[in-house]
Structure 1
């Protein structure tokens, strides 16, 4: 009888969330889903087009990381600047190159690719309307009070979603698509760049944090070339990757009362899907309305947690 009571007590303690000072609940390690969530069809199509498989792509990026001690050293150094465990950065790189793009055979290829963009001239806009003119519209006036780049561009993204996306405004029809895809990707919608696979809007959002932590100059949306140089260069790309992960950890702590810093699968998921503040707010709302649930990994984050021991060995 005593053993049964002890077992029940232990099970109850395991089920209750670990709570830090300040009431922040620590998200347990590992996956919440027993099986990998469904991988989107677009990832399958990209992989088939490259005549490869997810397993082959995973092994390729894993082997690149394993063979490049200089890159691992840079990842560790950058992670320290943003007070995160470097495994979160490893997870993001693994996820991006397994499901979204194929890895180059060596890091030098990323530098060569970045240099190829340096001489070109780009601009952010839509149908002859520059991004500067667009965010100067009256609909964006409420965003002007934000000086921090993350809050400023998040506000502008919200205005896009509520007012412009899929609507006709002032005689212009705007696509039913993401802000980043319409105004910030002149090559084709959905394109991301470099080792960290950062999109330009994400870089603009993290610009102030990167300037403070890494010392890189702040980005300006009117200088698209400079934005592309930042996200294509592997060294700078690592800073924007770390800043994005740092931001998601802070958002979940501040908004949802969740410490996700011990679960690389969750940070990888958020790196993949974006909008960490909105997702943290949605989780907080669900938990306020009864019951309790942890954030869950998607297919991308599930792989990271599933391969965690192997990925930690890279460090």
Structure 2
């Protein structure tokens, strides 16, 4: 009888979920804005430091992708594994190397850096002598421990950080008024994002269970910083993490806001750039209750991807 009740319950849950999925509204293709939204000042500053225009940076990364057929095959392979259009991965790579990092002449440099990080034994995630593993074992984080998915677990920990520790003094120890990822996941001041997809170590941890299930790669741990850096630096692995991040965004927007963004790479690129996917999806869901025509909006980064989509597809 217990098994029968469980089966009936599972059927009921599935039947309840199906209409929500079927009711997802497809986000219109292209940009909502006629002109590119204002570019973030941090991107403008980085471009000034390299004395290279955004268009020049775009052309440089485009040329790399155009000549590296092996990399394009890897992009297609990762996209197929996670059930996304490969133009989403192309868009994220283009966006990151146009706005967030300097020019790149060869993807080979990322393989070299990946090996270098793997050999760096003193890399560790923590703050002022306290490892991030010990930090999240504090009682304030107990409410997160039973969460099943890596995304929910680490998002919960970020929320606790913001509410209980950020900019505060706790047990005699003061904590910066800054992001959890910047405080605990920036050893040796090595930067915040890495590799072809410019992935933050914390972001990689949020999708490690998805990547493990889909691609068979080892589960990442905050206790093993060199291995985590290798995963996000080596294109053979980092593309899987990129695809998982994009897949997660598509699924969250479909399930939370009832909007299918799978055919709008400018929107997935925007989310790849700004993060906080569930928060933004919930905000869109609330807005759609007031205005059923409300749709996600691209930022300057995603606008470029949609604006150049025909050109980006030629790479595939």
Same topology, TM > 0.5? yes
Question: Offset at 1:147?
Answer: 2.8
C-alpha separation in 2, matches of 1:124 and 1:21: 39
For residue 163 of structure 1, report the CA deviation from its aligned partner.
1.5
Is this contact kept in 1: 2:21–2:258, CA < 8 A? no
Partner of 2:281: 280
The answer to whether 1:270 aligns with 2:271 is: yes
Name the counterpart of 1:116.
Answer: 116
CA contact (8 A) 2:123 2:188 kept: no
Q: Deviation per CA, 1:139-170, whole angstroms, max 9, x where unpaired? A: 10011111321111111111112221122222
1:221 aligns with 2:213: no
1:289-304 matches, within 5 Å, as 289-304=290-305
Counterpart Cα distance in 2 of 1:142 and 1:189? 31
State the 4+ residue runs in structure 1 displaced beyond 4 angstroms.
Answer: none
Q: Secondary structure at the match of 1:195?
A: coil
How far apart in 1 are the matches of 2:96 and 2:142?
35
Corresponding residue for residue 7 of structure 2: none
Please give the TM-score of this superposition, normalised by the length of structure 1.
Answer: 0.91
Aligned to 1:67: 67
Q: Give 1:15's aligned residue.
A: none
Partner of 2:145: 144
Are the counterparts in 1 of residues 47 and 99 from structure 2 also a CA contact under 8 Å? yes
Q: C-alpha displacement at 1:40, in angstroms?
A: 1.1
Q: Secondary structure at the match of 2:187?
A: coil
Shift of 1:187: 3.4
- In structure 2, the gaps of 5 or more residues are 1-18
Kindly report the root-mean-square deviation, in angstroms, between the aligned alpha carbons of the 2 structures.
1.5
Aligned partners of 1:48 and 1:235: how far apart in 2?
31
Distance in structure 2 (CA, Å) of the matches to 1:25 and 1:122? 45
Q: What is the match of residue 165 of structure 1?
A: 166
Q: Is the 8 A contact 2:27 2:261 kept in 1?
A: yes
Q: How does 1:160-239 map to 2 (within 5 A)?
A: 160-188=161-189, 191-239=192-240
2:134 paired with 1:133: yes
Query: For residue 11 of structure 1, what is the aligned residue in structure 2?
Result: none
**Change in 2 beyond 3 A, CA 1:208/1:113:** same
Residue 95 of structure 1 contacts residue 301 of structure 1 at CA under 8 Å; is this kept in 2? yes
Pick which of 142-151 and 240-249 moved more: 142-151
Aligned residue number for residue 54 of structure 1: 54
